[in-house]
Amino acid sequence: MTHPMFRFLLVLLLSLPLGALAQGASVSFKGLKQDTTLPVEVTADSLAVDQATGTATFSGNVRVAQGALVMTAGEIRVEYAAEAGKIAKLHAKGGVTFANAGDAAEAAEAIYTIDSGSLVMSGNVLLTQGQTAISGQKLAIDLKAGSGVMEGRVQTVFQPKGGN
């Protein structure tokens, strides 16, 4: 006879997506799906522009908004595209947070490539989706597709339905 707890754990493990058991876990980001053609608004305590490199560095209480998507950090460097005034990438560091709808993520650093809708967060990443939290070292999100992958010693706790 098999112990009931063993059967419960076996059923739980077999019901998980294969990626959740490996070093990387695929995660759904329907709440983070984003229209990357919307305008990008940046506010900060200070701004330094470097014409030679085509970058602008916002420092102190930086907040970037694109539609319902919000990113905050201690510093965000804006890398401009060859097209005048068009932002190519945002390089954020220093307590980076990223939120949209019911999903939020924290990390040490992040790079957001606007045209492709690619967001890569690294350094002690913590993702929360409602009551679920997943941690790892790197989180790569495709904002256009609403999908992503968490990598680097992924950890989460699954709550069984009806559990406290």
Share of the chain above pLDDT 90, in %: 38
Q: Give residue-wise pLDDT tens across range 86-95.
A: 888 999 999 9
pTM to 2 decimals? 0.75
Asked if 116 contacts 96 with a C-beta cutoff of 8 angstroms, the reply is no
Q: Give residue-wise pLDDT tens across range 69-83.
A: 899 999 999 998 877
Over residues 104-119, mean pLDDT: 92
Q: How far is CA 124 from CA 24, 132, 150, 153, 162, in A?
A: 14, 17, 11, 10, 30
Contacts of 154 (CB under 8 A, 6+ apart): 20, 22, 23, 24, 25, 134, 135, 136
Q: Give residue-wise pLDDT tens across range 11-70.
A: 333 334 433 434 445 555 555 556 767 888 999 999 999 988 888 999 999 999 988 889
In CATH, what is the architecture of 23-156?
Sandwich (2.60)
Domain ranges of the chain: 23-156
- What six digits make up the tokens of 3? 């112990």
